[in-house]
Each structure stands twice: as C-alpha cells, then as structure tokens.
Amino acid sequence: METRRIGSLNVSVVGLGCNNFGWRIDPEATAAVVDAALEAGVNFFDTADVYGKGQSEEFLGRALRRRRDEVLIATKFGLEMDKRRRGAKPDYIHQAIEASLRRLATDRIDLYQLHQPDQETPIADTLGALEELVRAGKVREIGCSNFSVKQLREAAKAGGGAVHFASVQNEFSLFHREPERDILPECARTSLAFIPYFPLANGLLTGKYRKGIKSPEGSRAQEKWGPKVFTKKNLIVVEALIEFAQSRNHTILELAFAWLLSHEPLASVIAGASKPDQVRSNVAAIGWRLTDNELAEIDQITSGTY
C-alpha cells in the first residue's frame, strides 16, 4: 500500500471513511469492515464525533482496541452534537477531545480536525486550544474541513507559525471539482495535505447506479437527496465514464480513485464502506495511473457537471 504524508503522519492512499458506523451498520458489521481494511493494508481511519451521534467513534474504538498502534485515527469536532456541544471555542474543544478519546478508547488522536469554520470564534483562539492539545500529547496533527482559501490563509496568519493545520478535508470527486480551482493550488503552494470527502459522489461512481435501471429500495438513490444527485444528466455522464474505463479494462470505481490520486496534494481517498467486499474493492482500485491524454479525455466527458 502506497502512503502519503499528512504532516508527520504516513497515511495509506486508501483510507476508510467511518460515517456508516453507528448509522448504517452495527458494532459487529463495523468490526468486519475494519478487519477487512486492516487486512488490505489500510492504516487511516477517518470519523467524526457527530457520525452516528457518537457511535461511529465508539464502534471504531472497539474494533481497533487491540491494534491501536497499527493505525492512524482521524476524527472531527465542531458540528452540533446538541445545543451546548458545538463550535470551536477553546473550552468546548477541551470538552470535545475528552469525549472523543473516551469513545475511541485511546489516549491520543492522530489527526484532529475542525469540521467546519466557526464564525463566532476567532480562529486564533481555536488554534491556541488545539496547540495545547498537541503539547499535551493528546493530538499529533491538526486539520480542518470545509474551509475556503481565504479561511485557510486567515488560519495560517493567525497561527503565526507556532501551530498550523496539516490538512484540509473538502468535497471532491469527478462530479464536484471546485477544489481544482483554488483549494488544490493553495495546498500545493503551502504543502497542505488534501483529503476528499464524498470521493465516489454519493455512490454515483461505484457503478451500481445506471441509466434506465431502477435503483433498489433503501439505496442511496432513494434517500431524500437522491434526486439531486442521481439526475438523468449525471447518469448519462456515468455511462460515458463506464465506457471509458471498460475500454481500458478498468471499472468506473478504479477510474474514480485513479483520477483523485492524480492530484498531488491529495493524501488519502477515504471512501466509506458498509461491507468488507466494498473495502477490498476500494483498495484494489488504486493500481491505475492515468496519462495526460486520459485525463484530458475525462475532462471532456465530465465537462458541465461541475
């Protein structure tokens, strides 16, 4: 398994997004997914305190308890757990980290990420609290999510070089390419690692959803946001991407991973999984290196979708 850097961390280029834990799957199914990831060489597990209302961290902690030193755990804070538990004020950060450490059954978090900017709290105050956690040995690296270039620069200036984000996690996929315009160049310029969320565009890039084929009940396409994602236009593009990949003896899933990993600031593709086979498929998808001509052809196919 190839690794890339997030600050001092060497993370596997395929990570595991843990948002399904505690929401879609129970502790036993979580353990099976985690076991499959470890067997396949995945060492990077990304979760958040709000996933499954805390159960994602709890289930992940149970599954990794005896193998904690073999892995790197990333979690997030800042989204609303309830009316009192939210945001990025220093007092709350100290409360949130203790709750996450307890649920994860660990004494440190390898990458602790602010889930979204907190407009009510000066970023310097947030960074000061995070620096305290690093100095206390409770956190190894800090990151952010859903930040704009302007907000990244404000954080870099506020940190003053003493403490800084090692990564930014924003939405990025073949169907959501906004980071190419500004965030990725900023990451390259400042040596900031980029982590994409929704790398498979909510399932569009798995190959399970096809034009003219009714999606099964209970699938992602049937959820309330499904009609906005699984549009006729998007499914036509999916068919073209499938044809492109198959003409080169690959799957659309392999194409999705290869395209993401062609962007140098990208550290790890943290695709979610609810079954062991999905993890194994994700790991098997990383062997394709796209040429410049192939990347140009992909741009033509996806033009107008982002």
State the burial class of residue 284 (Cβ atoms within 10 Å of its Cβ: 0-12, 13-18, 19+). Answer: middle
pTM for this model (two decimals): 0.91
Stretches in the chain below the pLDDT threshold 50: 221-222, 225
164 vs 200: CA distance, rounded Å: 29
Domain boundaries, the chain: 3-208+253-287
Give catalytic residue positions: 51
**Which amino acid, one-letter code, is at 261?**
L
How far apart (Å, rounded) are the C-alpha atoms in residues 245 and 251? 5
Predicted pLDDT of residue 82: 85
Report the mean per-residue pLDDT for the chain.
91
Q: Quick one: pLDDT at residue 222? A: 44
pLDDT in tens, 37-67: 999 999 999 999 999 999 999 999 999 989 9
pLDDT digits (tens, 9 = 90+) for 220-277: 544 554 556 777 888 899 999 999 999 999 999 999 999 999 999 999 999 999 999 9
Best CA proximity match to 65, nearest among 100, 32, 104: 104
Residue 166 near residue 158 (C-beta atoms within 8 A): no
Token pair belonging to 67 = 């193998």
Alpha-carbon distance of 155 to 165, in angstroms, equals 8
Tokens, residue 245: 């990949």
Pick the CATH number of 3-208+253-287 from 3.20.20.100, 3.40.50.300, 3.40.50.2000, 3.30.70.980: 3.20.20.100
Cβ neighbours around 144 below 10 Å, total: 27
